[in-house]
Amino acid sequence: MSVVEAYWDGARGATHARLSALAPALGGDVVVATDLGGLPFALARLIAARRNGELAALYVALPDPREALVALVYAQAAANPDLEQRAAIVNGFAQNTIAVDGKALAEYTALAAPLTRALYAALRLADAVLVDSPEHALRLERAAGRPPNRAVPIVAAEPRATRFPHGRRVVVYAPSAPRETLAQFDVLFANRDFPWSVIARENAHEAFPADVAVAIAPQWTTLDDALELHARGLRVAAPFASGAPALGLAVGYDPLRAKTLFRAIDAALTEQRPAFAFAPRLEGYLARERMLRTNGPLLSAVVRTYDRPQLLVRALDSLAAQRYRDLEAVVVNDAGPDVSELLARYAGRLAIRYVHRERNGGLVAAVNDGVRAAQGTYVGYLDDDDLWYPDHAARLVDALERTGAGVAYANCVAEYADVVDGALVPREYAIFTDRDFEKDAYLYDNLATVHSYVHRRDLFARFGLFDEAMGAADDWEMWLRMSREIDFVHVDRVTVEYSWRRDPSTENMTFRKQRAFAGAHQHVAQKHGAVYARWPTLLRGRYETAARFNALAEQLEANPSLAHALFVPPDPVP
């Protein structure tokens, strides 16, 4: 049964109660509910859910920052006795000429980059995204740059016989809002003669007026008040952005265009409209996710390690927790201290093949030794500092089995952490790779991290092993090689985690990585010259990219402390 874990203040009690009532139908483990202020904590909770194999739904209350600004401007206007200036403000909103602190209102809708990254990551990590309405989903899309995957509508309203109103009393109903934030109605209704009143936080305890003809639910981006008014059987007017009009709960208006509010009130007073009933579409939505395959062809996970036993344990634990049980770990120790005793702890939990190299040969030689030792029909990859989430093997093997494709890959989230006294201190989580398959995209760069991929082992007989002439990005070159001849399938789920650590003690190594990446781009350009002959711009780009890596290496050689500038999460790729 799903429980609701909320990361917002107490002002969203009605939404919390609604989610709690609907959550059990999901058949998952947790509903993570948050607003923007709680988003970093909610994201950390989603990461924990993915690591633990919990099924998590996400609800994001995404307000429009313009709402508070409009309320502020109207509060100032209400205190101004000059009727012409009041009218100018009303018209200014309609004509989009109002600015606050020198910024147009539209400029306030963009989120800061860290919030955008966190929202994008949360929407991609969740097994389901709960939305009140199409407008709610659209706000999430605009804020994150991509529609939420697996969006599930959750509005549940009992059918009510909406009474045809008598009289003309209008009530503005906002019981969780302070009265001062509703001053726009003092300005807007100054030229109307109908009786009206306000129910705000200060008088929310008072009895609801019995002679109400139309009730206004003024909050821009929440359904709660409109749902309550609908349950009372009242005629309701609400902002279009709340989603209530699209769901048939209210007549819609645009808060920035005063005349549309008057039209909505008149329509609610005069039009005969049927009452609509809605039922949640949640039944067993997440429960189906528990039906992932648990067995099939053997999958070999090649795990490269070197003198990092604590991290190796973490990586192997993630393999032992896989829902797909036909799995073996091929642990390749690249001439580090022996880990036989550590591996023995996994007897009965995880099948392990152990390859202990006598001489250190680097990452590419190590992965090739692992491939040679692998026995599985399929091969996947996991470095000792990264993680597979419990559903990774099940989802990718299933995709390969169902489609007949040779290669599958999923999306990856990264943990950005500082190393402090030998311990990891997380700073931020962000989506690291999340791109659809296009074979020509590999001519530019990689589409996913190496541990995002699972493929048929027999492809090595056709395409050869990883290129040991490369000191970095050997997996990119392999996928480039394969993608010219076979199709890949993209599993659009976040199933692996990449560790991006900032360790001051190793900053002097960073420039060497830049040299390796420069050499990789030059090597790929030369090795695949026949392919790049048709793409001269991309060919030139490989050498230009190599030059940028070399220039960065020179800067880091001169000043290693600049390495911290590389510790920046990428912006989302829609």
pLDDT tens-digit readout, 106-135: 888 888 889 999 999 999 999 999 999 889
The average pLDDT across 86-94 equals: 89
| 200's tokens | 């705000």
Mean pLDDT of the chain: 90
pLDDT for 510: 57
The average pLDDT across 129-153 equals: 90
pLDDT for 191: 79
CB atoms within 10 A of CB 574: 10
Strands 387-388 and 488-502: antiparallel
For residue 90, the SS3 value is helix
Distance (Å) of CA 8 to CA 34, 69, 115, 223? 5, 21, 15, 17
Distance (Å) of CA 537 to CA 192, 430, 526, 542? 65, 31, 14, 9
| 470's tokens | 């490369």
- Angle at CA 542, nearest 5°, toward 539 and 547? 135
User: Which residues, 6+ apart, have CB-to-CB distance to 501 below 8 Å?
Assistant: 385, 417, 418, 419, 424
The average pLDDT across 398-425 equals: 89
- Residue 285 C-alpha from the chain's centroid: 19
495, 411 in Cβ contact below 8 A?
Answer: yes
| 547's tokens | 């030059």
E strand map for 459-528:
488-502
| 296's tokens | 């099939």
The residue behind tokens 């859910």 is: 49
Facing residues of 278 across strands? 157
pLDDT for 154: 87
Least Cα distance to 90 among 109, 107, 101, 76 occurs for: 76
Confidence of residue 276 (pLDDT cuts 50, 70, 90): low
- Per-residue burial over 213-238, b if 16 or more Cβ lie within 10 Å, else e, is bbbbbbbbbbbbbbbbbbeeebbbbb
The residue behind tokens 């089995």 is: 401
Q: CA-CA distance, 215 to 219, in Å (whole number)?
A: 12
Amino acid found at 355: V
Q: CA-CA distance, 128 to 108, in Å (whole number)?
A: 28
- Angle at CA 392, nearest 5°, toward 387 and 393? 115
| 274's tokens | 């049927």
**pTM for the whole structure:** 0.89
Least Cα distance to 358 among 338, 384, 329 occurs for: 338
Residue 249 has pLDDT above 90, yes or no: no
| Residue range 205-220, pLDDT digits in tens | 998 888 898 999 999 9
User: Which residues, 6+ apart, have CB-to-CB distance to 553 below 8 Å?
Assistant: 511, 512, 514, 515, 518
